[in-house]
Every structure is written in structure tokens, then in C-alpha cells.
Amino acid sequence: MDTKLIIDTDPGIDDAFAIALAALSAEVDLIGVTTVFGNVPLASTTVNARRLLQLCGRPDVPVAAGAERPLVHPQPFTAAYVHGSDGLSGKSGTLPEPTRELEPVDAVSLLVQLLEAADEPVTIAPIGPLTNIALLLAAHPHVRSKIGRIVIMGGGVTFGNTTPVAEFNIWSDPEAARRVLVEETVPCVLVPVDLTHRCAVDADWIAKLSATGPIGATLVGLTGSYQKHYPKALGRQAMVLHDTVAVAEAMSQGILRTETFPIDVDCGLGPSRGQTLVDRRPATAHEESPEVRSPGTVEVAVDTDLDGLRGFVLDGLSGSRR
Ligand code: RIB
Ligand code: CA
């Protein structure tokens, strides 16, 4: 049976590729998309998600808007400098207008409806700040049993991208991230920038995608801001489609190699706010003093067949797995 999948997203250029990857693949049943503030404000992420589903011929997928700001402290800035002011390099308006209305309920309500109706465990792939997911689990604990696993693009084990130690999705709402990653028991897979950066795609991959057909060409046409930013961030002509790595794992369990680690999230207001503290010390070294171990436990994606992953994403975006 195809995996039932809900994507929670802040499109965002790499989100666009990740949404298309799921929307164009017959091997996954994309049952809903919920939106959240993040790369750009909620109004933009929401219309972008709806337009991208229309581009992929998927007006059947319901979209509901969620949190427009973090749980506690306001987000200091967006990632418009990476994704463009509209979230899609200024090209959102060139996408097809959605024929399906935005759902009349909020994101958390749609998540509850879809989970309650599901006849098998649902995978949730949050690829933006975790505010909606924290609210869902806090307000509706009964749905925990309907969630198979949560596959999150976020965090950094050895570095950050928004600060030296914090990755953007976690940094945007650390309190929400800590609730999900540390205080909850739903199985979580964390896909950090340490791995997504290694999955960067180059000009040859981008050219191949563009040649696959109109959807691939349109997606590449959305990457202008990304192609300006990432050569500076990486020091080479490439770009990082972070969210596609997480959604690939959500679609094809095991495409990423994971290891289980204790974890904590820095919710302080200092320079390390939003840092994911992945405890890679040997577990046996601290059996007598569990209090010095990080309180949560997650699977962290640590490796993959890089070319195999890039090929999976390219094939999926080409529509060859419809
Ligand atoms: O740090 C990368 C993450 O932040 C990706 O999800 C990107 O879309 C941004 O939201
Ligand atoms: Ca994102």
C-alpha cells in the first residue's frame, strides 16, 4: 500500500521541489499539504503551495494554512534573501492559479481530520518550522497513534546555516522544535544540513531536470535566487535542495542511513539559540549519570548513496514514477 503522506511546508524553492517530488510520484499517497511561516510569510508560502500543486496537476490535494509566527518569540527575519521576496525567486505569479480553494479550516484541523480518517499510519514530513506540528501534538494527543513517523528536514549536527550552529527551520521556532524532537514520543527522523549539503546538485543535474519536460523546466525556472545564493554559501556552482532529501526518505524509507541519538534543542536567547545538540558520545560512557544525556531520542540521517539519492529525485521530478 502506498505510504500516506502529509507535507508541512514553507515554500520556498527547495520546498517546491520536494512538494513536486511527492505530488508526481505514484509510490506515495500525498493526502494533504499544510503551510507555515518560514522562508517567507504565511500568505506567500500558502499561495505558493497551492500553485505548485496545480503545476503538478494535483488540485485533488487539500491545502490548509497554519501558523503565521513562532510559538513564543518572534522570528527575527525570513529567508527571503535565499528564496526571493515571494519565496520562488519572484516567479510565483508565473505558476498556474489554483483551481481548488484553500481549505476553510486551519492546518492543525486539517492534520487532525486526515489523521483521524486514515486507515493506516500516516507519515508527516515537516520541511519548515515545526510550529504546526508542535501545536498538533499539544492540542490533539489522541492522533499520536495515527502517525507512523515524522520525517523532518532540520537541524545541524556539526554546523548551522542560519547561525554558525543553528539550521533555519529549527532556529525559526526552537520551542516548537524542542516540543517535537525532545518532549514527544512519536518516532522522528531528523535530516540535518550535514547530510543535505552533501546531496547538493550541480549544473548538469539541473540541466537534466530542465530537459525532462515542462514541469521540470518550470521548477528550474524558480531557482534564480537559489542559484545566486548557493555558490556563495558552498564555494562552488551547485545548490542544496534540502527538503527533497527529507521527502525522499518519507517516500522511500531507508533511502537514508540513520543512527539513533539523544538530542536537545537550545531554546535560550543567546548566540546558540536553535542549535540541535545531537549527543554522539558513547551511550555506555554515561550509564551511571543519565542526567548528563540529552533528554530526547531521534533517528538522525547520517549518510546516503549521494548519486542514488540525486537520481531518485531526478526520476521523481521527471514524472517517470507516476
Ligand atoms: O535550512 C534549510 C531549510 O530552511 C529548508 O527547509 C529551507 O526551505 C528552509 O525552510
Ligand atoms: Ca522549507
- Output the 3-class SS for 148-211: EEEEEECCCCCCCCCCCCECHHHHHCHHHHHHHHCCCCCCEEEECHHHHHHHCEEHHHHHHHHC
Closest approach atom of ligand 1 to CA 39: 10
- Per-residue pLDDT tens for 93-150? 999 999 999 999 999 999 999 999 999 999 999 999 999 999 999 999 999 999 999 9
- Establish whether residue 12 lines the binding site of ligand 1, counting it when its CB lies within 6 angstroms of any ligand atom: yes
Centroid of ligand 2 to alpha carbon of 114 (angstroms)? 22
Q: What is the mean pLDDT of the chain?
A: 96
**What is the pTM assigned to this prediction?**
0.97
Q: Report the C-alpha gap between 191 and 155 in whole angstroms.
A: 7
Closest approach atom of ligand 1 to CA 10: 10
CATH of 3-317, one of 3.40.50.620, 3.30.9.10, 3.90.245.10, 3.90.1150.10: 3.90.245.10
Q: Give the residue, out of 14, 83, 234, 247, with the most ligand 1 atoms within 8 A of its beta carbon, to mutate for a pocket test.
A: 14
> What residue spans of the chain are helical by DSSP H?
13-23, 42-55, 80-83, 107-117, 131-139, 168-172, 174-181, 193-196, 203-210, 214-221, 224-234, 242-251, 306-317
Backbone angles phi, psi at 264, to 5 degrees: -140, 165
Strands 3-9 and 28-35: parallel
- Per-residue pLDDT tens for 36-85? 999 999 999 999 999 999 999 999 999 999 999 999 999 988 999 999 99
What integer pLDDT is reported at residue 76 of this predicted model?
84
- Per-residue pLDDT tens for 163-216? 999 999 999 999 999 999 999 999 999 999 999 999 999 999 999 999 999 999
Catalytic residues: 242
- Per-residue pLDDT tens for 242-269? 999 999 999 999 999 999 999 999 999 9
Q: Give the residue, out of 8, 9, 15, with the most ligand 1 atoms within 8 A of its beta carbon, to mutate for a pocket test.
A: 15
Q: Report the C-alpha gap between 241 and 239 in whole angstroms.
A: 7
- Establish whether residue 128 lines the binding site of ligand 1, counting it when its CB lies within 6 angstroms of any ligand atom: yes
Domain spans, the chain: 3-317
Q: How far apart are the first and last CA of the chain?
A: 15
What integer pLDDT is reported at residue 1 of this predicted model?
54
